[in-house]
Structure 1
Amino acid sequence: MGGQQKTFRALEIGDGGDGRWAEHTQALWPTAEGWLTDDGRTEEGAARARALFEKHMPELVPILDLLAGQLDRPGGETYLTHAAIRPFFSGCTQLGGKGVLLRNYDFPPDECEGTIVSSRFLRPVIGMQEAGWGLLDGMNDAGLAVSLTFGGRLVHRPGFTILIVLRYLLETCETVGQAISRLRELPIAIPQNVTLADRDRAATVYVGPDTPLIEATDACAANHQHLPIPEDQEASTRTQERLAAVRAAGPDVAAMLRPPLYQTAYEVGQGTVYTAHYRPAEGRVTYHWPDASWEQSFDDFTPGHRAVTIGTPQGVGNRSTMAR
């Protein structure tokens, strides 16, 4: 298919208390409130979501209260717990190495928020935000980076979205080992693959509501876990093909911007929206598209907007870097 335009934004929100986060999130609320489950809209469901959050993410409770007060919308607190959110299923391919995390995020472009956020809740974090304060991927000032892919199995049980789990890991952990230990204890609503990288180690783990955490054989992931892949699932997602391709390519941005890793089936949610290249030990991340790139860092975070073209895979040799 031909290319299409999407606008990404970069937003600095500090500790969330000065109104910048609230102004942004309130503008998205008419769409965001649709993420709540029917149970989450009830008084009992809201109480269960709050209790689950308090039990498993106590360090973030003061931030939850601050943001919920800033959002000031009916159901806002429950939404921000991410414990009563309807399931969503993305594509994605990712791999990690010592000091590097590289990923493609595949999803319907109109449903991806496209907001790069720099925050200082418990510590400095930069990441691609989704659903209030959740993260699709990100890094912290300790040199830890994390990202997600859907695990490929249509299972849904009570638990958190992986979006708030990534936020929690980056706010409370400094190493891959610490983050994996935390992941073992968290109830996660649908199967997900999490790739993690710090200065010394990288790993991918499989998590979900129906299986204990399993560490993969290497720090690579597409959209399956340790179980056999049905032929029709492989035909529609090419998950094994993409995993083999990313393993063969290694941490190569150019390969991520070409098929089979760069996908264009946006009409079925299998199109690449952005490529993120994290160097967490350096505190830097570059977001790539076929015709542009945008670097952000803890030392030089630049708010603003960028309109980019997606859907036309290209090599990176003739790409222009967008002015910051």
Structure 2
Amino acid sequence: MREQHKTFQAIEVGDGGDGRWAAYARPLWREMADLLTAEGRTRRGADRVRALFRTHMPELVPVLERLTGQLDRPGAEVFLTHAALRPFSPSCTQIGGNGTLLRNYDLRPDQCEGAIISSCFLRPVIGMQDMLWGLQDGMNDAGLAVSLTWGGRSAYGRGFAILIVVRYLLETCDTVDEAVARLRSLPVAVPQNLTLVDAVKAVTVFVGPDIPPTTAPDACAANHQHLPVTDEQERALRTQERLRAIRAAGTDVAAMLKPPLYQSVDAQGSRTLYTAHYRPVEGRVTYYWPGESWPQSFNDFAPGSRTVTLGRAGGGARAARGDARVPPRR
């Protein structure tokens, strides 16, 4: 299997108003602007998504205005609402239990920003950022962690990209119960699965434009919501195989760095880009790649960059062994 390299960055951006976030975001703007939907480029569409954001995420409106001013690009406000973005479908695997959240993020390397961001927009949050301020996964200072996977269905409707939903929940909620309650009023554009963990609870919730938020049987998810999964979908995504594997392994980092949970490159170029192990009550997260790890925390966030090798499945057991304090999920 061909190896590939990818550089990940760790960046502190504060409240987004002192230029550090803009220094990161502006070089990405040209490619990001192309991800707006056709509706988002019209005046009526822009007015609609602004109203949607103000209605459903009022706490983040001052942050949206701050970041829009810092980015200072035409169309920035509409883009940053994440309510007019073309859909994307990462094929990930995740599990929560014992106060921890463990996940693999699978996508094409060129479609992932690879930015670990420490921010304080409304409160301290650390997470893997995408689309300039959305989050693929993250934790806050209250001890709540959230991550996403694609729900495996092609439904699409008016609503938010899941990345900003993860950001919103972490900025405004302290507990799993509070976050699940917030989800009931948030329109989501594409079917997605969210796994949420705090000190006492772990759940997975299915969301989408055509279903109410629905609690899954247990706190783990791959890339389906309802059974049966078609043979074609299983061949393409191996979603049931991965879900069975993570249920059997529990919160075991070493298992995430081996097949079938660690995904080699597929026909579309997707592969496992990183493993994230959140311990939100401790305020700590460790990112893993086969043979390498990068710990971060609220008390000791270390800005910098790492260039890692993708595609060496099975080489991470030694790096993962230091996380033995977290027992497998029963």
TM-score norm. by structure 1 comes to: 0.97
In the alignment, the residues of structure 2 paired with residue 182 and residue 117 of structure 1 have an alpha-carbon distance, to the nearest angstrom, of: 23
Contact 1:3/1:312 (CA < 8 Å) preserved in 2? yes
Per the TM alignment, residue 174 of structure 1 is displaced from its structure 2 partner at its CA by: 0.4
Per the TM alignment, residue 317 of structure 1 is displaced from its structure 2 partner at its CA by: 3.6
In the alignment, the residues of structure 2 paired with residue 266 and residue 291 of structure 1 have an alpha-carbon distance, to the nearest angstrom, of: 22
Judged with a 3 Å threshold, the aligned counterparts in structure 2 of structure 1 residues 253 and 320 are, in CA distance, closer, same or farther, namely closer
Per the TM alignment, residue 242 of structure 1 is displaced from its structure 2 partner at its CA by: 0.2
Deviations 1:229-264 (A, max 9, x none): 111000111000000000000000000000000001
> What's 1:74 paired with?
74
Contact 1:108/1:267 (CA < 8 Å) preserved in 2? no
Deviations 1:182-215 (A, max 9, x none): 0111000000000000000000000000011110
In the alignment, the residues of structure 2 paired with residue 165 and residue 173 of structure 1 have an alpha-carbon distance, to the nearest angstrom, of: 12
After superposition, where does 1:302-321 map in structure 2 within 5 Å? 302-319=302-319
Judged with a 3 Å threshold, the aligned counterparts in structure 2 of structure 1 residues 236 and 140 are, in CA distance, closer, same or farther, namely same
In the alignment, the residues of structure 2 paired with residue 316 and residue 22 of structure 1 have an alpha-carbon distance, to the nearest angstrom, of: 35
> What's 2:149 paired with?
149
Q: Does 1:177 align with 2:177?
A: yes
In the alignment, the residues of structure 2 paired with residue 182 and residue 303 of structure 1 have an alpha-carbon distance, to the nearest angstrom, of: 32
Among the aligned pairs, what percent are the same residue? Answer: 64
> What's 1:106 paired with?
106
After superposition, where does 1:145-294 map in structure 2 within 5 Å? 145-294=145-294
In the alignment, the residues of structure 2 paired with residue 318 and residue 298 of structure 1 have an alpha-carbon distance, to the nearest angstrom, of: 25
In the alignment, the residues of structure 2 paired with residue 56 and residue 269 of structure 1 have an alpha-carbon distance, to the nearest angstrom, of: 35
> What's 1:86 paired with?
86
Partner of 1:180, secondary structure, is helix
In the alignment, the residues of structure 2 paired with residue 300 and residue 226 of structure 1 have an alpha-carbon distance, to the nearest angstrom, of: 41
Contact 2:253/2:320 (CA < 8 Å) preserved in 1? no
After superposition, where does 1:29-40 map in structure 2 within 5 Å? 29-40=29-40
Judged with a 3 Å threshold, the aligned counterparts in structure 2 of structure 1 residues 52 and 143 are, in CA distance, closer, same or farther, namely same
Contact 1:49/1:78 (CA < 8 Å) preserved in 2? yes
Partner of 1:88, secondary structure, is coil
Per the TM alignment, residue 316 of structure 1 is displaced from its structure 2 partner at its CA by: 2.5
Partner of 2:306, secondary structure, is strand
Contact 2:291/2:315 (CA < 8 Å) preserved in 1? no
Q: Does 1:298 align with 2:298?
A: yes
In the alignment, the residues of structure 2 paired with residue 168 and residue 320 of structure 1 have an alpha-carbon distance, to the nearest angstrom, of: 30
Return 5+ residue gaps in structure 1 as ranges.
Answer: none
Judged with a 3 Å threshold, the aligned counterparts in structure 2 of structure 1 residues 39 and 177 are, in CA distance, closer, same or farther, namely same
Judged with a 3 Å threshold, the aligned counterparts in structure 2 of structure 1 residues 144 and 319 are, in CA distance, closer, same or farther, namely closer
Per the TM alignment, residue 138 of structure 1 is displaced from its structure 2 partner at its CA by: 0.1
Contact 2:161/2:188 (CA < 8 Å) preserved in 1? yes
Partner of 1:243, secondary structure, is helix
In the alignment, the residues of structure 1 paired with residue 269 and residue 101 of structure 2 have an alpha-carbon distance, to the nearest angstrom, of: 23
For 1:169, the aligned partner's letter is: L
Contact 2:109/2:270 (CA < 8 Å) preserved in 1? no
Per the TM alignment, residue 34 of structure 1 is displaced from its structure 2 partner at its CA by: 1.2
Deviations 1:83-105 (A, max 9, x none): 00010111000000131000000
Per the TM alignment, residue 293 of structure 1 is displaced from its structure 2 partner at its CA by: 0.5
Per the TM alignment, residue 270 of structure 1 is displaced from its structure 2 partner at its CA by: 3.5
In the alignment, the residues of structure 1 paired with residue 108 and residue 291 of structure 2 have an alpha-carbon distance, to the nearest angstrom, of: 19
For 1:248, the aligned partner's letter is: A
Moved runs in structure 1, 4+ residues, more than 6 A?
Answer: none
In the alignment, the residues of structure 2 paired with residue 206 and residue 199 of structure 1 have an alpha-carbon distance, to the nearest angstrom, of: 21
In the alignment, the residues of structure 2 paired with residue 317 and residue 195 of structure 1 have an alpha-carbon distance, to the nearest angstrom, of: 24
How large is the RMSD of aligned CA atoms in angstroms?
Answer: 1.2
In the alignment, the residues of structure 2 paired with residue 79 and residue 191 of structure 1 have an alpha-carbon distance, to the nearest angstrom, of: 20
In the alignment, the residues of structure 2 paired with residue 108 and residue 66 of structure 1 have an alpha-carbon distance, to the nearest angstrom, of: 31
Q: Does 1:21 align with 2:21?
A: yes
In the alignment, the residues of structure 1 paired with residue 171 and residue 51 of structure 2 have an alpha-carbon distance, to the nearest angstrom, of: 20
In the alignment, the residues of structure 1 paired with residue 155 and residue 101 of structure 2 have an alpha-carbon distance, to the nearest angstrom, of: 27
Return 5+ residue gaps in structure 2 as ranges.
Answer: 322-330
Judged with a 3 Å threshold, the aligned counterparts in structure 2 of structure 1 residues 269 and 184 are, in CA distance, closer, same or farther, namely farther
For 1:238, the aligned partner's letter is: R
Partner of 1:167, secondary structure, is helix
Judged with a 3 Å threshold, the aligned counterparts in structure 2 of structure 1 residues 304 and 267 are, in CA distance, closer, same or farther, namely farther
Per the TM alignment, residue 227 of structure 1 is displaced from its structure 2 partner at its CA by: 3.4
For 1:127, the aligned partner's letter is: G
Per the TM alignment, residue 171 of structure 1 is displaced from its structure 2 partner at its CA by: 0.3
Partner of 1:268, secondary structure, is coil
Partner of 2:86, secondary structure, is coil
Partner of 1:35, secondary structure, is coil
> What's 2:325 paired with?
none
For 1:73, the aligned partner's letter is: R
Contact 2:289/2:316 (CA < 8 Å) preserved in 1? no
Contact 1:222/1:243 (CA < 8 Å) preserved in 2? yes
Deviations 1:107-148 (A, max 9, x none): 001110000000001100000000010000000000000000
